[in-house]
Chains A and B, each alone.
Chain A
Amino acid sequence: MSGAPMINPFSLFFASIITSNILLANFLGMCSFISISKDMKSSSGLGLAVTVVLTVTTAINWLLLNHVLIPLNLVYLRFIVFIIAIAAVVQMLEMIIDRVSQALYLNLGIFLPLITVNCAILGVSLFMEIREYTFFQSLVYGLGSGLGWWLAIMLLSAIRQKTEKSKVSAGLQGPGLTMITIGFMAMAFIGFSGMLAVQ
């Protein structure tokens, strides 16, 4: 955990998409990742929803942390505060999208409840706290992590469409093969970490 203020937002953005991909390097957001990635269309819907929610919640949680919890010396309550903030944001987004566009609601709305319990959302907020990012860095980090997650789930669902049809040993079918595929993807993504890394 090096001094965060030194990282410039531009490299932070790309690092969080690729070399420090929230899913492949930090293992966050796996639960919905495995179950949804069977289907390309749902994957892209969920990816978009995660990106939006991540960006918004990271910003809100930064404000809550630095302007409410730290001044009041209540940092140990952060888990509860973060999770409530996330649930509230998700609920609000659901209502807003429902009002604004029916089409978008049908594509995105069904994924929103899944997101409250997506570990990636809470994880990014907690990393933001531990690495002591500034507000702008948090925003960039949230957006980048969301895009990285989206990229990873799209790639995996594309690969899974091919592997569905291939013949593998019965025990390996489904989750087993998916895990090994993710392993190879992680190797490819992390392979670039010599160029750019955020720890």
Chain B
Amino acid sequence: MSNTGAILKDNLWTSNPIFMQILGICSALAVTNLLVNTMIMTLGVVFVTAMSSFTVSLIKQLIPRKVRMIVQTLIIAFYVIIVDVLLRAYLPDISRALGPYVGLIITNCIIMGRAEAFAQSNPPLASAWDGATSGFGYMAVLLTIAFVRELFGFGTLFGYQVLPDAFEPWIIMVTPPSAFFLLGIIIWIGKTIMNREGAPA
């Protein structure tokens, strides 16, 4: 596939699902208080997006157009259940910390969006790649937010203390508003750079 690089750049940057399309932030912000949680959650999203795009593309000829939304939802739900069961079995603590947000991957607009916009009209492997890279775009933004929140909110990174004891944690970084502020700032920076490049916003 010659366009794999183009898809990668597109999904990671020029049409990054979060800061260009403002999709999928529902479940995005709640898990960004700790890097570990964010990592696991976004890996789940990458897996589900890639696999559901792959499956949708594979059986697109078989699905009647009228019911394709509900079929896509069921395919997505199927993969989310796999993620949920695996988390419960192998990482019960993280599963508990993520709470309902694993289930909410189902309603993550990115996954449905990729299935609808790309997988419907492309071969399975390209669709899986497109889904995975969209997931990576999502992961990049969330990890950035989580990095700032965990560093200033707890003074740690991935649970290891990096800031000295004298550092006073910023309570605001632990609370929900900080996630909104950080996302707003990331969108701001991203768009400003993009405007400068002259790319269509």
Identify which of B77, B103, B176 contacts A27 (C-beta below 8 A): B176
Is A179's CB under 8 angstroms from B181's CB? Answer: yes
Is A79's CB under 8 angstroms from B180's CB? Answer: no
Q: How far is the CA of A116 from the CA of B26 in the complex (A)?
A: 14
Q: Which residues of A from 172 to 195 have beta carbons under 8 Å from B?
A: 172, 175-180, 182-184, 186-187, 190
Is A179's CB under 8 angstroms from B100's CB? Answer: no
Let me know if A122 is at the binding interface, CB within 8 A: yes
Chain A residue numbers with a CB within 8 Å of B178 are 183
Chain A residue numbers with a CB within 8 Å of B26 are 27-31, 119-120, 123
- Residue of A whose beta carbon sits closest to that of B29: A27
Let me know if B51 is at the binding interface, CB within 8 A: no
Is A31's CB under 8 angstroms from B106's CB? Answer: no
Is B179's CB under 8 angstroms from A31's CB? Answer: no
Let me know if B78 is at the binding interface, CB within 8 A: yes
Let me know if B22 is at the binding interface, CB within 8 A: yes
Q: Convert A97-119 into 0s and 1s, putting 1 for each residue whose CB lies closer than 8 angstroms to a CB of B.
A: 00000000000000000001111
Q: Convert B174-201 into 0s and 1s, putting 1 for each residue whose CB lies closer than 8 angstroms to a CB of A.
A: 0111111101110111111111000000
Is A171's CB under 8 angstroms from B195's CB? Answer: yes
Interface size on B, residues (CB 8 A): 47
Q: How far is the CA of A122 from the CA of B177 in the complex (A)?
A: 22
B167 to chain A, nearest CB (A): 23
Given contacts A27-B179, A175-B22, contact A79 B77 (CB under 8 A): yes
Interface size on A, residues (CB 8 A): 48
Let me know if B24 is at the binding interface, CB within 8 A: yes
Q: How far is the CA of A121 from the CA of B181 in the complex (A)?
A: 25
Is B192's CB under 8 angstroms from A171's CB? Answer: yes
Q: Convert A105-144 into 0s and 1s, putting 1 for each residue whose CB lies closer than 8 angstroms to a CB of B.
A: 0000000000011111111001101100000000000000
Chain A residue numbers with a CB within 8 Å of B74 are 80, 83-84
Is A83's CB under 8 angstroms from B106's CB? Answer: yes
- Residue of B whose beta carbon sits closest to that of A80: B77
Chain B residue numbers with a CB within 8 Å of A34 are 22, 25
- Residue of B whose beta carbon sits closest to that of A82: B103
Q: How far is the CA of A127 from the CA of B100 in the complex (A)?
A: 6
Let me know if B28 is at the binding interface, CB within 8 A: yes
Is A171's CB under 8 angstroms from B24's CB? Answer: no
Segment from B37-45, B80-88, B128-136, B149-157 that makes contact with A: B80-88
Identify which of B27, B106, B191 contacts A176 (C-beta below 8 A): B191
Let me know if A77 is at the binding interface, CB within 8 A: yes
Let me know if B15 is at the binding interface, CB within 8 A: no
Chain B residue numbers with a CB within 8 Å of A169 are 188, 192
Q: Which residues of A from 1 to 53 have beta carbons under 8 Å from B?
A: 1, 24-31, 34-35
Chain B residue numbers with a CB within 8 Å of A179 are 180-181, 183-184, 187
Identify which of A29, A172, A183 contacts B188 (C-beta below 8 A): A172
- Residue of B whose beta carbon sits closest to that of A87: B70
Chain A residue numbers with a CB within 8 Å of B194 are 171
Is B78's CB under 8 angstroms from A80's CB? Answer: yes
Is A180's CB under 8 angstroms from B81's CB? Answer: no
Q: How far is the CA of A169 from the CA of B184 in the complex (A)?
A: 13
Binding site for A on B (CB under 8 A): 19, 22-30, 70, 73-74, 77-78, 80-81, 84-85, 99-100, 103-104, 106-109, 112, 175-181, 183-185, 187-195
Binding site for B on A (CB under 8 A): 1, 24-31, 34-35, 76-80, 82-84, 87, 116-123, 126-127, 129-130, 169-172, 175-180, 182-184, 186-187, 190
